[in-house]
Chain A
Amino acid sequence: SYEVTQSPSVSVSPGQTASITCSGDKLGDKYVCWYQQKPGQSPVVVIYQDRKRPSGIPERFSGSNSGNTATLTISGTQAMDEAEYYCQTWDSSTVVFGGGTKLTVL
């Protein structure tokens, strides 16, 4: 079965750029979504179709996907961005989630 891998944690200073990666075999051939989840809340999509932002998501969130790696980039990271982030893709008849990355804003 298809798998995608995320680093368990990323730390960033306020105002700096955070990069969260998601790796999988030929992931660049698939669409990727990114979700932000804060404690006690449902996941919120911040990027869909690799690089598109839903309405209401700040411009500091951006995405890319090429080769075997998709990347979520948060520019000018704010304290409110501290959360768990999950990547998600599709493989034949199934949906696949990454294990999640805890973003800490120090």
Chain B
Amino acid sequence: EVQLVESGGGLVQPGGSLKLSCAASGFTFSGSAMHWVRQASGKGLEWVGRIRSKPNNYATSYAASVKGRLTISRDDSKNTAYLQMNSLKTEDTAVYYCCRLDPEMEVIWGQGTLVTVSS
């Protein structure tokens, strides 16, 4: 079964850090670019960033709103992608989804994990 499972969400104070994980199964993870998308409560979908595959040098790209604070990485040996979140702000509060978003491949979304930034 094709699946993405996010974990690591929770409550964190402003200025704090959190690391999300995304475990993949059922497809060739190492050949896929992986994306993170977030959604604040009652709001639309916002692309956070992506990491490409090894043949593409694991190149990363980020939305301007998170650049310099959020970092995407991956471990192909574990079929897992990560989102390291530093210097968190209250406006980072959202459900974070891990996705495979490739125009030439099957689109895959995880179920999401909630991150709440609050004192």
* A interface with B by C-beta (< 8 Å): 1, 31, 33, 35, 42-45, 48-49, 54, 86, 88, 90, 93-100
Told that A95-B101, A99-B44 touch, could you supply 11 new A-B pairs with CB distance under 8 A? A42-B111, A48-B106, A86-B44, A88-B45, A90-B101, A90-B103, A93-B50, A94-B61, A94-B63, A95-B35, A95-B37
Secondary structure at chain B's binding surface: helix, strand, loop or mixed?
Answer: loop
CA distance A86 to B44 in the complex (A): 8
CA distance A44 to B107 in the complex (A): 9
Q: Which of B15-41 contact A (CB under 8 A)?
A: 35, 37
Which residues of B are found within 8 Å of A90, using beta-carbon distances? 101, 103
Interchain residue pairs A-B with the least CB separation, the first 8: A93-B61, A31-B103, A95-B47, A97-B45, A100-B44, A45-B107, A99-B44, A42-B111
Secondary structure at chain A's binding surface: helix, strand, loop or mixed?
Answer: strand
Nearest CB in chain A to that of B108: its residue: A45
CA distance A49 to B110 in the complex (A): 20
CA distance A95 to B62 in the complex (A): 10
B26 CB to nearest A CB, Å: 14
B63 CB to nearest A CB, Å: 7
Name 12 A/B residue pairs within 8 A (Cβ), A-sorted.
A1-B64, A31-B103, A33-B101, A43-B109, A44-B109, A54-B106, A88-B101, A94-B61, A94-B63, A95-B37, A95-B50, A97-B47
Which residues of B are found within 8 Å of A99, using beta-carbon distances? 44
Q: Which of B90-108 contact A (CB under 8 A)?
A: 97, 101, 103, 106-107
CA distance A96 to B46 in the complex (A): 8
CA distance A99 to B42 in the complex (A): 12
A42 touches B107 (CB 8 A): no
